[in-house]
Structure 1
Amino acid sequence: MSSDQDLVVQTVREILTGHEPTQLTPDRRWDADLWSDLAEAGLTGVGLPEEAGGSGGELADAVAVVATLAAGAGAVPVAEQLLVAGPAVLAAGLDLPDPSQPLTIAVSGAVQVDGSGLLTGTATDVAWAGVAHWLAVVAAGPDGDVLALVDVFGLDATDAANLAGEPRGSYVFDGVQAQVGPLADDVRARYALARAVQLSAAAETVLAWTVQYAGERVQFGRPLAKFQGIQMQLAEMAGEVTAVSALVDAAVQRLDRGEPLELAAAAAKVRAGAAVEVVARQAHQVHGAIGFTEEHRLHHLTKRMWSWRDEAGNELTWARVLGAAVAGDDPWAALTSAV
Structure 2
Amino acid sequence: MYIEPHLFLDDSAAQQLQARHSFQLGDYWDCHDKQRHAFSVQLNLDALVVLAMDCGRARRIYEFMSICRPGDLLAYAYVSWGQSAPKVVKDITKRIAERVQEGRWRIPADVNVLRYVDFDGLFFDQGDDTAELDALWLRAIATHPKSDSKPVWADYLVAALDRVREVQRQIQESDDPLIQRQLALIKQSRHWRDYRPSLPRSADLGQVPYQQGIPLALAARIAQLVEDWGLESVSTSGGGIDYWNMLCRMQLSAADRTGLPPAEALSLFACDRGVPIVAADWGGDIHVSWEGMCISELTVLPPWWNVNQALWETEAPIAPALWRPLSLCVILVSPADLGERRDMVCERYPGWWLYRPEQRPADLEASRKKLAAFLRRRKPA
* TM-score by shorter chain over 0.5: no
* Greater length-normalized contact order (CA 8 Å, ≥ 6 residues apart): 1
Q: Which has the higher helix share?
A: 1
Q: TM-score, normalised by structure 1?
A: 0.27
Larger Rg: 2
Q: TM-score, normalised by structure 2?
A: 0.25
